[in-house]
Amino acid sequence: METQAITATTWVIDPMHSEVQFKVKHLMVSTVTGLFSQFDGQLEMVGDDFDDSKITFSADISSISTGNEQRDGHLKSADFFDAEQFPKLTFTSTQFKQTGDDTYDLIGDLTLHGVTKTVKLKAEYGGQMQDFYGQTKAGFEVTGTIKRKEFGLTWDGVTEAGGVVVSDDVRLVLNIQVTKQA
């Protein structure tokens, strides 16, 4: 009786067709959206579905952008991300489990500002398609919320009226397209 080896397939993030955003309340009345423009990652699929895939991801802190140069400089400073001392944000999955037809729980270790915490995110599978070049692409939207202070991002400002300037809750929204490797 022969046993067939289970093959692993690597899928690599296509940065041209992906977005990595975060959203945080400012003054608790409006939301500021930021993004990382430099990132990479991959998904290692075992078998013929994405369940139990291994996922790695990293983003360059210096690529942060909120559309405001002064704010971006503050975010890269030691008050927040300290890009000079902690140049990368990294994520390594510990679990990727299908929870519905097109939904997954994504659990893993997020390292940010020198602190590693386990986070749980939701992933929605958008499907697969071949592009004009014959490459197979798949898409996922990954969402979740982290507490910035748990990662040592503790800068706080308080208005004269006693209002909080920046929320502790940071929403993550990643729209990721991956390319199947030969």
**Residue 169 belongs to a domain with what CATH number?**
2.40.128.110
Distance CA 140, CA 154 (A): 31
Range 38-65 average pLDDT: 96
In-domain check, residue 67: yes
Percent of the chain with pLDDT over 70: 90
Query: Is the pLDDT at 56 greater than 70, yes or no?
Result: yes
Range with the poorest average pLDDT among 22-26, 51-55, 119-123, 144-148: 22-26
Number of domains comprising the chain: 1
Tell me the whole-structure pTM to 2 decimals: 0.90
Residue 129 lies in a domain: yes
Read off the pLDDT of each residue in 59-71 and give the average, rounded to a whole number. 95
- pLDDT tops 50 at residue 82: yes
Whether the pLDDT of residue 91 is over 90: the answer is yes
Cβ contacts of 14-18, under 8 Å, gap ≥ 24: 14/137, 14/177, 14/178, 14/179, 15/39, 15/40, 17/137, 17/177, 18/174, 18/175, 18/176, 18/177
Determine, yes or no, domain membership for 3.
no
Which residue range forms the structural domain that includes residue 101?
8-180
